[in-house]
Amino acid sequence: MAVVHSCSGFAKTWGYDAELAKVIVLASSASMALSFDADAQEVRFQIQPLSEEECQQEEVQTFLKHHGGAVAVEHKSELLHLSGGNVGKLEDLAQALRTKTFEEVRLETISAQEEEILRFFGIDAQGGFGPEKVLAAKEVARRVADAPFEQCVRSVDFADRFTSKHLAQAVKAQGAHCIYVKATTKAAERFCAASPSVHALLKQKTDALEANTKPKRRGMF
């Protein structure tokens, strides 16, 4: 049995070389989808996080109760704040409440999000974005932090230096999924914080970075 090494290799082997399928559906993260190239033959559908209206639907409570019991339903708003409405993350958080208190889950999630933000900052130390090695991770984080959570930042604002694909590849390599590419259409691509809690942490961390890099005034002593 052959091991599938990559999405692109799988698609080529099964869909073209072996002619075993005319249509192949690949479910992946946004970063993987953007780094995948099928010679413009692919059709992309992005599953958006739950909207505010969808979060109010009865199905969400049913989902939370199924995966995390009554305590998950009780902390619905906090779980949505931590997950950003990402269904996969919401499921993981709800399931964690089966064996941990909400405070334990919250603190572990915030800690993991802080680590991802530091890894995102570290993209610059690892070579930056794209073949030109653009060192702009902290700049992207600052822009995303300053923009309203729902608005995000247009990827076209950085297009003269690097592309959304370059950012997605760096994010994937670093495991720094605090910022992702929201790509419903090419023209509407935006760089967004993964959740409201990540957005707040980005603000704190970028503020701290700026405070640490400002020239210190000499005191009297």
Lowest mean pLDDT among 20-24, 67-71, 116-120, 204-208: 20-24
Chain segment 103-135, per-residue pLDDT in tens: 999 999 999 999 999 999 999 999 999 999 999
Residue 58 reports pLDDT greater than 50:
yes
Helices then strands (H, E): number in the chain? 11, 3
β-pairing verdict for 153-154 and 190-193? antiparallel
Whole-Å CA distances, 68 to 99, 112, 157: 9, 20, 41
Chain segment 27-42, per-residue pLDDT in tens: 555 545 555 555 556 6
Asked if 82 contacts 109 with a C-beta cutoff of 8 angstroms, the reply is: yes
Asked if 176 contacts 114 with a C-beta cutoff of 8 angstroms, the reply is: no
Domain-wise residue ranges, the chain: 52-99, 118-213
Chain segment 175-214, per-residue pLDDT in tens: 999 999 987 676 789 999 999 999 999 999 999 988 876 6
Which tokens go with 4? 């599938």
Asked if 44 contacts 159 with a C-beta cutoff of 8 angstroms, the reply is: no
Half-sphere exposure (CA, 13 Å, Cβ side) for 146? Answer: 10
Which tokens go with 175? 């495991």
Higher pLDDT, 134 or 18: 134
Which among 208, 149, 207, 135 is positioned nearest to 180, based on CA atoms?
149
Q: Specify the pLDDT at position 3.
A: 44
> DSSP string spanning 22-81?
S-------HHHHHH---TT-------PPPPHHHHTSHHHHHHHHHHH-HHHHHTHHHHHH
pTM of the model: 0.78
Which among 194, 191, 154, 192 is positioned nearest to 178, based on CA atoms?
194
CA distance 33 to 1: 25
> DSSP string spanning 113-139?
HHHHHHHHHTTTTTT-BTTTTB--HHH
State mean pLDDT over 162-175: 92
